[in-house]
Chain A
Amino acid sequence: MTIQHHPSELLLTAFAAGTLDLGAHIAVATHLVACAECRKWWRTLERVGGAVLEAMPLARMSNDALARAISRLDLPLEAADPDIGVNSAALDTIPGLPEFVRKYPVGEWKFVAPRLYKRAIHVPDPGDTRVFLLRAGAGVRLQPHTHTGTELTCVLTGSFSHDGMWFGAGDIDLGDSDISHDIAVGQDGDCICLVAMSGELRLKGLRGRLMQPFVSI
């Protein structure tokens, strides 16, 4: 089984540049755990960042900048932040998550719809993006929907299909207002995904509009 759906060049470049918000960062990092090819290219992108840095014009700093920096070398190290992780071991049974994500506090599995559950991951700097795990039973079909913001979904286990494309472990899927998500979970067992989502989800169709008030994803 090979990974077929990778982050776009723009997304991976923003990841390497450190300009993604933490939620999107986590979704890309989750893909990188599974994808040796993107890991390799990410490392090269950091070299590109370094090469750009070397080629940039010098900026003038204040006259005593170097002296001040050197004097700071003698100061004791600032105490590190208390570990934000509570590592409840709640995520230890979930495959494919980056190590740093496993340390975050998590909520309980919550009912969304029959055979569909979500579990919040409380990240230290959420920005506008919520991060959660979504677990759907084999064969479940999600109500067709679009997004008001963007959604990055990385498959951890199981599979789903969307618009004739198949997504398995490590594959990353982008949803936004232009993309209509009509998702069917594969028959190969529960599908668990890591989702980083900004904005809201909009259900489509009459049934969807009736259900909308009851669905909180």
Chain B
Amino acid sequence: MSDGAAEELAQETLIAVWRKAALFDRSSTAPSAWIFAIARNLRIDSLRREGRRGSKAAGDVEAEFVVDESPGADALLAASQEDRRVREALAGLSEDQRRVVELSFYQDVAHADIAEMLQIPLGTVKSRLRLAMNRLRGLLADLS
């Protein structure tokens, strides 16, 4: 994605965050995760529109990430404490592991490209990411 397109998306994200602010539910997620999801969905939407030059509907990306219609939000979470645990779990990964996790969330690239960027074999990218995610899961599986 070009710098210009990234900046456009950043602006759209800011606007969406502003407009949707009243919908944000602190008890169900972290602000950073909420903003991440908005940016992710806008990016998918923009890639689709670009791909088909606006000729067809791009679909409703936000709806595609709604699969849980019955949030069991009966208990308010100790949300800020949980955010801290996520940050700590990430910080506890090795530098190599953290790098592949970052790349899989924030680079518009396939695992094969990550392998090339980091100059490691494709199998290593996958096993490193798998190890990193397993480690995170071990630390964070109890979060809701």
Contact = CB atoms under 8 A, between A and B. Distances in A.
Do they bind each other? yes
Interface of A: 8-10, 13-14, 16-19, 22, 25-26, 29, 32-33, 39-41, 43-44, 46-56, 59, 61-62, 65, 68-69, 72-73, 77, 81-84, 98-100, 103, 123-125
A39 B58 contact: no
A46 B64 contact: no
B27 interface: no
A48 to B, nearest CB: 6
Interface of B: 6-7, 10-11, 14-15, 18-19, 28-37, 39-41, 43-44, 48, 51, 56-60, 63-69, 82-83, 86-87, 89-90, 101-102, 104-106, 108, 111, 126, 129-130, 133-134, 136-137, 140-141, 143-144
Contact of B29 (A46, A52, A124): A46
A108 B65 CA distance: 27
Contacts of B143: 40, 43-44, 47
Given A10-B133, A14-B104, A52-B106, A99 B29 contact: no
A40 B144 CA distance: 6
B106 A56 contact: yes
- Looking at chain A's contact residues, the main secondary structure is helix
Contacts of B39: 53
Given A62-B7, A100-B60, A47 B30 contact: yes
Contacts of A100: 60, 63-64, 66
A127 to B, nearest CB: 9
A26 B59 CA distance: 13
Contact of A17 (B11, B87, B105, B144): B105
Given A10-B133, A19-B108, A99-B66, 8 more contacts: A10-B129, A29-B67, A39-B68, A47-B86, A50-B29, A53-B35, A53-B106, A61-B10
A52 B141 contact: no
A99 B40 CA distance: 20
A61 B63 contact: no
Given A32-B68, A33-B67, A59-B6, A82 B15 contact: no
A51 B83 contact: yes
Contacts of B11: 65, 68-69, 72
B86 A43 contact: no
B32 A81 contact: no
B90 A50 contact: no
Contacts of A103: 63
Contact of A48 (B15, B19, B31, B86): B86
B69 A99 contact: yes
Given A32-B68, A99-B63, A49 B7 contact: no
Given A29-B67, A47-B30, A9 B60 contact: no
A55 B87 contact: yes
A99 B10 CA distance: 29
B104 A19 contact: yes
Nearest to A34: B67
B124 to A, nearest CB: 13
Given A13-B104, A17-B104, A17-B105, A50 B67 contact: no
A56 B6 CA distance: 15
